[in-house]
Amino acid sequence: MRTAIVTGGASGIGLAICRELGRRGVHVVIADLDGAGAERAAKELGCSAAALDVTDAQAVRDLVTDVAAGKGQLDFMFNNAGIAVGGTADELTLDHWNRTIDVNLRGVVHGVHAAYPIMMRQGFGHIVNTASMAGLVPAPLMTPYTATKHAVVGLSLALRAEASGHGVRVSVVCPGFTDTPLLDHANPGLPQTATGRGARRSATRAQGRLYSADSLAGDIMRGLSRDRALIVAPASGRMAWRGVRLSPALAVRVAALAVRRLGGR
């Protein structure tokens, strides 16, 4: 049986991914900082759970090693755990920056560093990193988040080029604003900002309608079946991405207009 680890799998996009994997007969290990939430989700889906802080490199390595050894292989590593951080650059503290980098970037690095050597030895496997549309477009009012998601896109594409010679696939997921609890818990454990408190409202104003996590999970599975390097959804996100590639300068001007519309300083 194929095996997958999904970090941040107890809710939102991660939980939707776990459901889709389960429907496809994959044994899923739901890993989440919320260990109780992971246990509840695992009970619902009939799979395994693990409490995991992705900022702890040794804990990530131990989980990945144990799962691969116990199941005999590791087919998928979904580095999906992340946090939302919002605010104007002048009001965000170094704590905002450091926490975002620790979870959204180092958390992915830790997952890659643990899983990639195992998949190289196997000669197969698929690493799937969750970034964001903010990793492809100039997304203001959440600069630390945007910076980490751009880094995850770059990491994923560079690793994909290396991994192709070893039978290992790498994809990066870049969703637009998705209807998940993340939007209701921006700046977790950090000084709050007006942007953070209004994250859901701002996301809805910016995109018009939030995408569902279940729809995104279906897009992800289709993208993986086609070995897509970049999985971008919904359609409005793909249009925005094309716009940035056609005229980066115009994209920045449009983003500046959005800042004024959304009330950023």
Catalytic residue among 76, 78, 116, 145: 145
CA dihedral 185, 189, 192, 196 (to 10 degrees): -30
DSSP 199-213: HHHHHHHHHSSPEEH
Contact 46, 99 (CB under 8 A): no
Q: Is 124 exposed, middle or buried (0-12, 13-18, 19+ CB in 10 A)?
A: middle
| The token pair that represents 163 in the structure block | 């991994």
The helix or strand, by DSSP H or E, that contains position 173, with its residue range, turns out to be strand 168-175
Cα–Cα–Cα angle for 198, 244, 80, nearest 5°?
A: 55
145 labelled catalytic: yes
What residue spans of the chain are helical by DSSP H?
Answer: 12-23, 35-45, 57-71, 94-100, 107-122, 143-163, 194-197, 199-207, 213-225, 235-246, 248-262
Per the omega criterion (within 30 degrees of 0), is the bond before 181 cis?
A: no
For the chain, the C-alpha Rg in angstroms (whole number) is 18
Q: Which residue has the tokens 């959304």?
A: 262
d(CA 77, CA 82): 15
Which positions are catalytic?
145
